[in-house]
Amino acid sequence: MNTAREDILNALRGRVRRSESPPAPWQSRQHFDDPIARFADTLTSLYGEVIRATNADDALNRLGNVLTNLGATRVAVNDEPPLAGVDLAARWPDITWHIVGRTEGDLKSFCADADAGVTGAIAALAETGSIVVSSGPGRSRLVSLLPPVHIALVPVSCLTTDLLTWAAARAGEWPANVVAITGPSRTADIEQTTALGMHGPKRVIAILYGE
């Protein structure tokens, strides 16, 4: 005699749709005539900041200008392009650096007292003005989360229309952690008064550079 559980399972099996071919790849309906302008305008409207640079070396020069204007003396940095391989201590000797995976000491404590955190980006989303960062070797989410200022060096080549389009086109295994950062941390009280930096960086600066 069939049990109630078997009756339910048999009924469900009879309703399973079997397809001989996989579904078609995702095709976004989004289109922006100028994705770079869309990204910059959207991020700026969400209290983020965008700085344009011509290439990776120019991006590093502009990074130096930002750190000088901040008066930064302690900076955490992910060991990823375009920062990987750069002798940061030689280029900016007045700054104490903590490079993820290379500098000894407690990263969390350093980030909590750092003036800024610097990362690369694995994607930038024009629709929402988001910067996508990931965890992995040489990369820690603490760098983009704990310091009061997050500076992301974003290559134009990683810019795409939206999150689903990027995810559909992405190849390989997913990292343990992927975060889409859309401007500085924001929250609002019961009167809808917006406060920045309550649960993360108060400033998010994207240095967008060509390659």
For 74-86, how does the pLDDT look when each residue is reduced to its tens digit (9 = 90+)? 999 999 999 998 9
pLDDT at 7: 80
CB 76 within 8 A of CB 36: no
pLDDT band at 132 (very low <50, low <70, confident <90, very high): very high
Assigned token pair, 15: 């309703």
More confident call, 193 vs 95 = 95
DSSP type of residue 24: P
CB 76 within 8 A of CB 111: yes
Residue 59, CA distances (Å) to 120, 124, 138, 146, 167 in order: 11, 16, 20, 23, 26
Average pLDDT for the chain: 89
pLDDT band at 1 (very low <50, low <70, confident <90, very high): low
List the Cα angle 65/75/174 in 5-degree steps: 105
The domain limits of the chain are 33-209
Structural element, H or E, at residue 193: none
CB 114 within 8 A of CB 147: yes
Assigned token pair, 194: 């917006």
Check whether 9 has a pLDDT greater than 90: no
pLDDT at 197: 47
Assigned token pair, 38: 């869309």
pLDDT at 13: 74
Using DSSP's 3-state secondary structure scheme, residue 124 falls into: strand
Q: What is the pTM of this model?
A: 0.83
Question: Where do we find the tokens 């200022």?
Answer: 149
Residue 112, CA distances (Å) to 63, 117, 152 in order: 21, 10, 18
More confident call, 177 vs 17 = 177
pLDDT at 175: 87
CATH topology for the 33-209 domain: Rossmann fold (3.40.50)
Preceding peptide of 201 cis, ω within 30°? no
Assigned token pair, 37: 């302008």
For 146-198, how does the pLDDT look when each residue is reduced to its tens digit (9 = 90+)? 999 999 999 999 999 999 999 988 888 888 899 999 988 666 555 555 555 45
Average pLDDT over residues 46-57: 96
